[in-house]
Structure 1
Amino acid sequence: MSAEPATAQRRPAPGRCTVDPATVGSGDVLVLRALGLGDTLTAVAPLRGVRRMLPDHRIVLAAPEPLGSWLTELGVVDAVLPQAGLVPLPPVRGGHVAVNLHGRGPRSHELLLASGPERLVGFAAPEAGHPGPAWRRDEHEVHRWCRLVREAGGPCGPEDLLLRPHRPAPAGAPVLIHPGAASGSRRWPAARWREVARALVADGHRVVVTGTPAESELAAAVVDGVAGAEDRCGTLSLAGLAGVVGDSAAVLSTDTGVAHVATALAVRSVVLFGPTPPAWWGPAVDPGLHTVLWHGDPSAPAWGDPHAAELDERLAAVTPDEVLAAARAQLAAAART
């Protein structure tokens, strides 16, 4: 029997996704993407390019532990080094390949360079003394990181972000409404979501509302008075949420992490955009499965602040009738498949 490859021997044991930092060194790729759910999912495609670039290396993702562990369980990466934002990385052995999928630098570059890599893959950052491809402001997030990895030698494209192919929704599958978002500028009013939920229930659809524990009041406001709408806010793990999304007939949300879960799982969706243009963060594959609603001007030199507290005017311009029309069209298409 042939010996197991050295890289496989150093992968965490089943059920254990986190890695001992002291073991990260030669033969590893340390990838930094210490961001949220949507950001993590847009990195799946370039991560697969990294795998193709260095197929015999162990891929260690420096990211929030729940997200990194989920991608480890899915086989996208081999281990997670828990990391929350741009704080110093724990000491590692060094001699690895570092890949910056977090940002343009210089801070993210500096953190990775401090870990002692033999090579850093990242965008050009003169402040950090690092050459590389030029950062482009006007570029879709998935295309941006795929371009970086392709130029480093790892073929990949938007199609690589899919975690599974599209498949028909099961009989009786619900419509999932996810009303929350990390900032007020990307939160469509609860009263409008409630109007949409009530109409869909009247159409004969099951409606499930999801969210984080901190969004319980928002979810309660959406289901208030809507008989048949199920509030599952705060009850689901990350894997559980992905399971509910995957079994839905359609997902309705603003530009937030759950929209990217629907894209990755090839589930029909309607996504409401506000301060950020969909050309930067919208679904990058399967255009027939995803409807984008946005009232921005694509030629404008600047858009709103995605982290602002107040509802963005472009998102405010989206009406319940528009959302219902888009949802009904997607559900009708689902019924024909």
Structure 2
Amino acid sequence: MTALSDAPETPPSPVRPGGRPLLIVPYMWIGDFVRCHSVVRLLKAQDPERPIDVLTTAMVAPLLDYMPGVRKGIVWDLPRKQLAYPKHRALAARLRPEGYGQALVMSRKWKAALAPFLAGIPVRTGLVGEMRFGVINDLRWGEKKLPRMIDQCATLALPKGAAQPPEWPMPMLVAPADEVAAWRRRLGLGGSRPVAALAPGAVGPSKRWPAESYGEVAQKLAQDGFDIWVLGGPGEKPQAEVIAAIGGERVVDLTGTDLRNAILALAAANVAVSNDSGLLHVAAALGTPTIGIFGPTSPWHWAPLNPIAATIETTTLVPCRPCHEPTCKMGHHACMRDIPSKTVIEAALKATRRIPT
């Protein structure tokens, strides 16, 4: 492995408080990226003076502007399903002048650790996986057996062998009120009515509550005086159209914009309703009252660390759940289709104190 490196291999050594900066290499999905702020907070509690940078893709980079404790993001898009060695060498050349003393590599993929290795970062901490001996030189063996991803990732920020705390620091996103207000003015979204933000998307169709059900939520909340904002990427346009057709004229389609718009919309909203998706974690970390809808995934494993107003699951016995599959192998999607819109509407109204709790 040493032949790959442009710098001599250095054995792991402790970094003095306030010393060389640290690089976090997180998972690049929105929800997992939000979770990595728990690691930032944990590191800052240990050493408030140590600079912390985060490797990021262009898509999730806006999150870093709202994460306290992060010095800067290193924006670099790497192909997901190919090695692209020249791109890793180029990234290593970008990292080397930063003088990082340590990299925390969350993913167990071999290539996730390649650029930190090529950059000569002396301490490269990560879980055992994909024969990364040498590329990762501070290997954590037992941590990969921990049941939740947040447990596996956050323990990398602890000294080797340290006991896991009862709770991890919760992720925190802070959107300045003046920025939120300016965003609303720019998009013409002022007004005194409360706002319900709906996030009907998710990675994999099995995690998506039907758009028609979201439309019923939009219709009822609009009748109760809410403006409705539908959030998501370009892939959520079809759901937004269904929701608007059912929900009526107070529905505003904000899908297809970038993540910064979604962050500011969720910060402005009075309540958010979301599938188990990245925007669920964004809303919760912003402190917006949030309703999370779970079907094929387990809330214990994947719900935000932040408290949310309600976790909605079907009360119907569905023997195959949680399957954690991106598509329903049974073909009935009962774990999501059997969740009535009335349940979600009541939870949203309770979260905004519009009916007794």
Q: Same fold (TM over 0.5)?
A: yes
- SS of the residue 2:70 aligns to: coil
Aligned counterparts of 2:147 and 2:228: Cα–Cα separation in 1: 35
Contact in 2 for aligned 1:176/1:209 (Cα 8 Å): yes
- Out of 120, 142, 156, which is 1:134 matched to? 142
- SS of the residue 1:332 aligns to: coil
CA offset digits 1:289-332 (Å, max 9, x no partner): 42112249899897231367978442233221221222222222
- The residue that corresponds to 1:114 in the other structure is 118
Q: How far did residue 118 of structure 1 move?
A: 0.6
Aligned counterparts of 1:154 and 1:61: Cα–Cα separation in 2: 25
1:255 aligns with 2:256: no
Instruction: Structure 2 unaligned segments of length 5 or more: list them.
Output: 1-18, 178-190
- Out of 25, 43, 54, which is 1:32 matched to? 25
Q: How far did residue 137 of structure 1 move?
A: 5.5
Aligned counterparts of 2:45 and 2:218: Cα–Cα separation in 1: 44
1:306 aligns with 2:316: no
CA separation of 1:66 and 1:311: change in aligned 2, threshold 3 A? farther
Q: How far did residue 224 of structure 1 move?
A: 0.4
Aligned counterparts of 2:50 and 2:279: Cα–Cα separation in 1: 31
Contact in 1 for aligned 2:297/2:321 (Cα 8 Å): no
CA separation of 1:311 and 1:285: change in aligned 2, threshold 3 A? farther
CA offset digits 1:186-208 (Å, max 9, x no partner): 12111111112112222232222
Q: CA RMSD in A?
A: 3.6
- Out of 218, 223, 245, which is 1:197 matched to? 218
Q: Which amino acid aligns with 1:294?
A: E
- SS of the residue 1:135 aligns to: helix
- Out of 147, 153, 167, which is 1:145 matched to? 153
- The residue that corresponds to 1:18 in the other structure is none
Instruction: Structure 1 unaligned segments of length 5 or more: list them.
Output: 1-25
CA offset digits 1:206-247 (Å, max 9, x no partner): 222122133222201111042233223236442332121112
Contact in 2 for aligned 1:262/1:269 (Cα 8 Å): yes
Contact in 1 for aligned 2:295/2:322 (Cα 8 Å): no
Q: Which amino acid aligns with 2:284?
A: T
Aligned counterparts of 2:130 and 2:238: Cα–Cα separation in 1: 46
- Out of 58, 67, 71, which is 1:78 matched to? 71
- SS of the residue 2:127 aligns to: coil
Moved more, 253-262 or 133-142: 133-142
Contact in 1 for aligned 2:62/2:259 (Cα 8 Å): no
Aligned counterparts of 1:101 and 1:313: Cα–Cα separation in 2: 37
- Out of 33, 41, 51, which is 1:48 matched to? 41
Moved more, 103-112 or 199-208: 103-112
- Out of 210, 233, 258, which is 2:231 matched to? 210
- SS of the residue 2:124 aligns to: strand
Give me the TM-score of the superposition, normalised by structure 1: 0.76
Identity %: 18
Aligned counterparts of 1:44 and 1:134: Cα–Cα separation in 2: 22
1:163 aligns with 2:183: no
Aligned counterparts of 2:132 and 2:209: Cα–Cα separation in 1: 39
CA separation of 1:301 and 1:216: change in aligned 2, threshold 3 A? closer
CA separation of 1:70 and 1:336: change in aligned 2, threshold 3 A? same
- SS of the residue 1:285 aligns to: coil
- Out of 27, 47, 61, which is 1:68 matched to? 61
Moved more, 250-259 or 291-300: 291-300
